[in-house]
Structure formats: structure tokens, C-alpha cells
Amino acid sequence: MTDAADNTVKSAEGAADERYMVPGLARGLGMLAAFTAERPALSLADLARAVGLTRSSAFRIAYTLAELGYLVRDETTKAYRLGPRVLGLGFAFLASIEIVEIAQPHLVALRDRTQCSAHLAVLDGAEIVYVARHADQKALTSHIQVGSRLPAHATSMGRAILSQLSPEDVRARFKDTSLEAFSKATATTLDDLIAQLARDRAQGYVLSRSNFERGIASVAAPVFDAEDGVIAAINITTPESTLSGDDLETRIRDAVVETAATISEWLGHRGARRSA
């Protein structure tokens, strides 16, 4: 089995038992996983390389996925894109996540209270995945959507979640990942990242001014479950040009921290509220 297909079907807890694997299914899922926001269209040759197959073998899998609606083939360019059935699976997955349903009214209230876009994200390896977004009118042109993936080490929500993990867990997540710099505030070594996360954990939130995207400010705070484990983070984002005085460091920060604590309580968390 190829690395791409194998990685698609391994669980977070460890390697799958090869006796029960279905190679064709794994390779089909590997093809779907090959599409990214940066590469939304892939040729047959790209798909074949992604799962380590010949073009003829890859064609049979791609043809099957297209017939079932999981891929769409452009007859002009001959490239493949993800089909509508994949979107349906994504919405079904989001609908099954309790935290999204619980967090939604609180995120809407946070957006209205701060006049900033409010988001919810979960951690997946070394990246965060956006699972809820409530945009303010100032952010109509934002490229962030539900399903967007961003590097955890450089983003406010990523750091908010990572700050609640052990240094050993953080090192394991990033051992094979280059820490790309997005600004002078980005940690580019594991030692620097762990030191930064320790500071984030001590204050209970992450505040950013152009740390990830120039001209964009954000505040993030972690969300906890009933076992006091971090399971997500929320944040607000807004153009720095719309901020007045120290609003980000005071009024908006307090609103984010309070909202994260409220969502945590709705999830059964009974720990002390982390004050700003």
C-alpha cells in the first residue's frame, strides 16, 4: 500500500491492521485526500502519483469515483476536481460534531458583540481545521471558509490549542514539519515554539496583530471538554484598521475569553474560568 493511501486510513492512535485493509478503497480515499485548496484540480498523472499507481490503474479508481459523484472530470482540460458527494460528506461530518452545534449561538453572539468575524477550529496534526465561521460584514472578501486548513504553529487558534498540550505532544506533532515563518512573531524552531506556547498557556489566550496575515488582528482562546481536555479554539479576526485604541487588548479579548469559557461549560467543563 502506498504512503498516501496508507496515511489516509490510519487512525490517530496508531497503524491499521493490514489484514483488514481494502487496498482499492484506501487508494480511492488517498486520491480524494490529494486535493487541496492550493491544488483544486489534478490530472490523472497527479492522481496516479498520489497513490503510487500506474495511470491505467489510477484511471479505474478515478472513473469509479467520478461515476459516484465524488470526482468531476473537466472534459476540456481532462483534470479532475472534487465532486458534490464529497461536500455532502463534509456537511454530514460537521452536523455530527456536537461542539459545532453548541458553539454556534455563542459565536454569533461574539460576532455581534465585537463586530468581528468569529470562528471555531479543531486541531488535526500540525494544522487547524475551521469547522465554524460567522463573518462580520467587514470580512466579506475573506478566503477563510469552513474546511480551511492553516498551520497551527503560526495562527492564534492553533497556538491556543497547542498551548494546552504537553511539550512532548507538540514535539511529536511537528517532528517532521518545517515551521514556516509568516512574521517576526512566528516561532521557527521547536524550542522557540514550546517557549511561546508556555507564555500563551500562562495568559490563557493568544493575541495577534499581523502575526499571521498582514493587517489582520485576532484573539483566540481554547475550548475544553468535560475531562478538562482541550478540544478546539475560538477566535475573532478583524482588519487592524477598524480597531479603536486598546479595544483588542481589553474589550474584545475579554469577550473572546468569556465566550470560550461559556462554550466549555456547555460541553460539560467544570474547571475554573480562565480569566484574561
- The x, y and z cell numbers of residue 223, run together, are 475550548
Q: For the chain, 276 residues long, give each residue's pLDDT as a single digit of tens.
A: 445 444 544 444 445 567 788 889 999 999 999 998 788 999 999 999 999 999 999 999 999 999 999 999 999 999 999 998 887 777 666 655 788 999 999 999 999 999 999 999 999 999 999 999 999 877 555 678 888 899 999 999 999 999 999 999 999 999 888 899 999 999 999 999 999 999 999 999 999 999 999 999 999 999 998 888 999 999 999 999 989 889 999 999 999 999 999 999 998 887 765 555
Question: 3-85 has which fold?
Answer: Arc Repressor Mutant, subunit A (1.10.10)
- The x, y and z cell numbers of residue 116, run together, are 468581528
Q: What is the pLDDT of residue 142?
A: 62
What top-level class would CATH report for the domain 97-266? Answer: alpha beta
Alpha carbon distance 136, 113 (integer Å) = 11
Q: How many CB atoms within 10 Å of residue 17? A: 7
* Placement of cell 502506498 in the chain: 2
Q: What does residue 25 show for φ and ψ, rounded to 5 degrees? A: -65, -45
Residue 147 C-alpha from the chain's centroid: 7
Alpha carbon distance 226, 233 (integer Å) = 15
Q: How many CA atoms lie within 13 A of 185 on its CB side?
A: 17
Q: Which of 127, 138, 111 is nearest to 119 (CA)?
A: 111
Q: Which residues contact 13 (CB under 8 A, 6 or more apart)?
A: none
Would you say 156 and 189 are in contact if contact means Cβ atoms under 8 Å apart?
A: no
- Domain ranges, ordered by start, for the chain: 3-85, 97-266
Radius of gyration over alpha carbons of the chain, in Å?
Answer: 20
